[in-house]
Amino acid sequence: MPATPPDILTGSSEYVPPVIPLDDLTQVINSTTNRDSSSSDSDDSDLQHLRESLGENGVIVGDVIFSVCGVGLGGGGLEEAVKVISSSPEIIELSVSRILHHPLSACLSKYGLIRESDGLDIVTKQIYIYNERASIFESVSEEGGEEGFNVIINTDAPLKNNPKSTIDDHAMRYYDSTSSYAHRTPNPQTFSLNVKGLRPYILTTVNSIKQDYVISCYDPSSRVFWNSGVRKESEFFGLKEELVELRGSVKQIGVKGGKVELGKFIRKVATLFYTSNLHPSSCACQLKLQSFISLPTSLPKSDTAITSIGLFIFRILLMPVFQQLVGSFLEGLNLIGAEEIIRRVKNNDREFLKSQAKEKGGEIKGFCEKVKRLIYQGCSEDCKVIYERGGGGGGWEQEVDDEIYRCVEISVYGGLRSGVSRVVVNGWRYEDVEFSKRLKSEELKDFKLPEHVQQEWPNSLQEFKTSVETPILPSTKIIGVVQVAKTIEKEYKGTDHLAADDYLPIFIHLLLQSSQESRVCSLVELLKIFLRDEKKLGECGYWVSTVEAAVEFIRGREEEEENEEEEFGKDNLEGLLAKSGFLG
């Protein structure tokens, strides 16, 4: 049996390639190269024949790159292999070529985030194994009844490519799936897992409420957020005891008091299905966690191409290198604390809070952008394949870029949301109070829409509440503003197209009709702070500036800084948007 390959997390073991008799390999190579090569697909068939003939001793990685005697063939293929074999001793060593690694590993190495010596191998294997775990859920079928959810796990079997995968199998070609290089467990076993009702990876953030805690959760499969019930600190320790009874190795996961430590514990438990060896109790442990975090009894299905992209990206973010990267950023951000905020509010030091909100918000946005760019550079090829398999059309680049940013934002902003909200809300508290008073003023009671747009706008009002006020993520709120504009266009009952100038009074009308308790000024500032630079000159920037103008009108203030409209592209984009047909 081949030696165990390097450990998935530490790379501590040393891989020893298998040995194969020269006669056996020469026979396979000769029979392959002597086949009819007149067919246009002869190269592919030759490689497939070689792979099948070698069986467990296969040396194929991807399509044509492999190595013999530790010599990388650099894509030379079968002819180069014959030359090496002809000059080799009676017994030769075959090893997987170190030439081919997942592109993400090269990006991580370029920026010094992993060691070049073994990090390339480790990252490639992690991507492969996480994808293999995900494929377990693709193999089940609801049509098969209860038995359709049973999956046979052989911990000693090589990891298999799934050509029908709608999630991802593209990264498989960067990793040899033969038994000589498969990830093995020390004590192989075969068992069955019933994955019915299982959500393999849920993002969690622990928030404190006085002496108790609430867990904010997100399920990438359904794209749904929710909060758990209120949990006492002792309940977290109780959860660990229950998990240890199911699987003894869970006792190695530390759990301490306090929001930060409890958050680390829950996140570790929530990722066990991917980050630990599979075990007969793996599903039971996950179901126990799902009960603890109050998983909704019914979650919608989301089978879109973008959902598949999101699932893949969250697996990437699950890798230790990204967990450490995000964790280090969160620990070093130094958001102003609640006590300091109270002191600043009492001293009427709103300007300090505003500057802190802009500064820290800018750091968060900048960090998310950098991580997004890193993942996009390393995984764009994977994402393109996933997008096309999921039925996505053209223009995949922008949709993928936005989804990667969203996934990173969830991972980063989720743990900072309460702190950021406190700073923003208290920084613009005076403006929100002023805004609420203005909503009740006699002057605004007489506000009327221009005659040609005088109608009810119930759908647009509901869209504003559900797509702008309600969402958790700033990027989702910003997209929601664009959706409101599109809903206005659909709801308009007039015979003529809406002009660019028609939207401002309609947004004013929507704000006047919305809840008078809404912190609209804080909301607009949050949108401006987290509006990505590349979006400022697009429709997102245009409509955010329109909402801001509506707020300023209600507050009864003339816009004094002309450069704000220029910054968000209002003047520059009117012609562009009108030309595209978006404004009619």
Residue 398 makes CB contacts below 8 A (sequence gap 6+) with none
Pair of tokens at residue 276: 């630990």
336 φ, ψ to 5°?
-60, 135
> How far is residue 489's CA from residue 577's CA, in Å, rounded to a whole number?
13
**H-assigned helices in 161-294:** 233-246, 259-270, 272-275, 282-292
Q: What is the DSSP string of 75-128?
A: T-HHHHHHHHHHTS-SEEEEE--SS---HHHHHHHHTTSS-TTTHHHHHHHHHH
> How far is residue 108's CA from residue 101's CA, in Å, rounded to a whole number?
12
Residue 478 makes CB contacts below 8 A (sequence gap 6+) with 527, 530, 531, 535, 540, 544
Burial of 51 (0-12, 13-18, 19+ CB in 10 A): middle
pLDDT for position 73: 41
Pair of tokens at residue 83: 């030359």
* In the chain, % of residues over pLDDT 90: 36
Q: Dump pLDDT digits (tens) for 317-327.
A: 999 899 999 98
pLDDT for position 540: 95
> How far is residue 473's CA from residue 237's CA, in Å, rounded to a whole number?
30
**Residue among 465, 440, 457 at smallest CA distance from 493:** 457
CA angle 132, 327, 183 (to 5 degrees): 25
**37-46, 365-374, 395-404, 531-540: range with lowest mean pLDDT:** 37-46
Q: Dump pLDDT digits (tens) for 51-90.
A: 555 444 444 433 333 444 444 444 444 555 555 555 554 4
> How far is residue 352's CA from residue 427's CA, in Å, rounded to a whole number?
8
- Write down how long the chain is: 584
pLDDT for position 193: 80
Give first-to-last CA distance, the chain, whole Å. Answer: 69
- Amino acid identity of residue 210, one-letter, is K
Hey, how many other C-beta atoms are within 10 angstroms of the C-beta on 211? 7
Pair of tokens at residue 479: 């997209």
Q: What's the alpha-carbon Rg for the chain, to the nearest Å? A: 28
By DSSP bridging, strand 71-72 and strand 67-68 are: antiparallel
CA angle 470, 318, 133 (to 5 degrees): 110
Does 370 score more than 90 pLDDT? yes
The single-letter DSSP state of residue 428 is T
C-alpha 187 chain-centroid distance: 33
> How far is residue 377's CA from residue 106's CA, in Å, rounded to a whole number?
10
CA angle 135, 136, 138 (to 5 degrees): 60
What pTM value is reported for the model? Answer: 0.75
> How far is residue 255's CA from residue 243's CA, in Å, rounded to a whole number?
12
As a whole number, mean pLDDT of residues 222-247 equals 94
Does 556 score more than 70 pLDDT? yes
> How far is residue 274's CA from residue 269's CA, in Å, rounded to a whole number?
10
Q: Dump pLDDT digits (tens) for 395-426.
A: 788 999 999 999 999 999 988 998 999 999 99
As a whole number, mean pLDDT of residues 536-548 equals 94
Number of H helices, E strands in the chain: 24, 9
